[in-house]
Amino acid sequence: MTSYIIKRLIALIPVIIGVALVVFLIIHLIPGDPAQTMLGERATVEAIEQLRESMGLNEPLYIQFISFFKGLLSGDLGRSVMSNNPVLNEISVRFPATLELSFCAMIFAVGVGIPAGIFAATHQNSFFDNASMLIALVGVSMPIFWLGLMLIWLFAVILGWLPPSSRLSVGVELDYITNILLVDSIIQLNWDAFKDVFSHLILPSVALGTIPLAIIARMTRSSMLEVLKQDYIRTAYSKGLQDRIVVYKHALKNAFIPIITVVGLQFGVLLGGAVLTETIFSWPGLGKYLVDAIYARDFPVVQGGILFFAIAFVLVNLLVDISYAAIDPRIEYK
């Protein structure tokens, strides 16, 4: 197991280099002068040249990439043009908000998707099976930005049940310790803040978790149907075992490998795909910060943020691979 993990970590090196190169080239090949964009149309020629020189934009492209990659090896992603703070510090402040939103969205997706997929598989071709798969198809096809706006319109504007945006209501006091507000409110035993944070999480979590929910439900149904046709399942039924024991103890455990794969991949996608959701709900996470950085042509932030998401996605995949052995003892890593 240890040697397998080491090999996978070593394999991350060319992935990181490739992602860094692609992101660097795409950003720097965008038409327009970034220095001019950052300083505005009224900036003087001297100010523009000074900014270009300070950022190394007057150097050849390959020299700029070498400088960027050297900084990357030392943990330096550069400084934000907007705030003049280290990009890594800006990411560390905002990523917990994205992680909290993605985690809650995945809990919603798994908590609804897996039971729906199991029930659909055990009641194949029933009304619920057809209805759930139709809803799953609609969920996969539904744009997040449209769903988010509809949720805000219905539950925040029309019904007034839930807040439309942000992470915490004005006037609610809470000390930021981990910057994961649900955890911070529990640590401080501040249950009023916990309820307020939870209410702010509902709408963006549902909007972000709808597509993963549909994918997980369809994969669970497909995997369960395949397992339920196996001989050992028929043998278990012939022994007189209850449906609940056969389905949850025997079938689900053996069908869980593809399910956990999809869950892991979708969680990685959520971490990097929360940009639209955070923008719609004014969620102060890394996704919204990257959108603001793109508008401001803040190259260091965009490069560092995308690279951070790519590394997080690869690490999630590694954790999924490792979890296979815990789920199925027949799997060995060599």
Structure tokens at 240: 């007189």
170-222 pLDDT tens trace: 888 888 888 898 999 999 999 999 999 999 999 999 988 888 888 898 888 88
pTM reported for the whole predicted model: 0.83
Rounded CA gap, 50 and 32, in Å?
Answer: 17
CA atoms within 13 A on the CB side of 274: 35
Report pLDDT for 333.
Answer: 57
For the chain, domains (ranges, CATH) are 2-73 (no CATH), 87-327 (1.10.3720.10)
Binned at pLDDT 50, 70 and 90, residue 107 comes out as very high
CA atoms within 13 A on the CB side of 334: 3
**DSSP per residue, 18-56:** HHHHHHHHHHHTSSS-HHHHHH-TT--HHHHHHHHHHHT
Q: Is the pLDDT of residue 58 over 80?
A: no
Q: Which pairs with CB-CB distance under 8 Å and at least 24 residues apart come from 70-75?
A: 72/16, 72/20, 72/307
Rounded CA gap, 12 and 330, in Å?
Answer: 26
Rounded CA gap, 64 and 57, in Å?
Answer: 7
222-264 pLDDT tens trace: 888 888 888 877 787 787 777 778 787 777 777 888 888 888 8
Point out the least confidently predicted range of 105-109, 125-129, 136-140, 274-278.
136-140
CA atoms within 13 A on the CB side of 180: 14
Q: Give 266's contacts (C-beta < 8 A, 6+ positions apart).
A: 106, 109, 212, 215, 216
φ and ψ of 72, to 5 deg: -65, -40
Rounded CA gap, 149 and 158, in Å?
Answer: 12
For the chain, the first-to-last Cα distance in angstroms comes to: 7
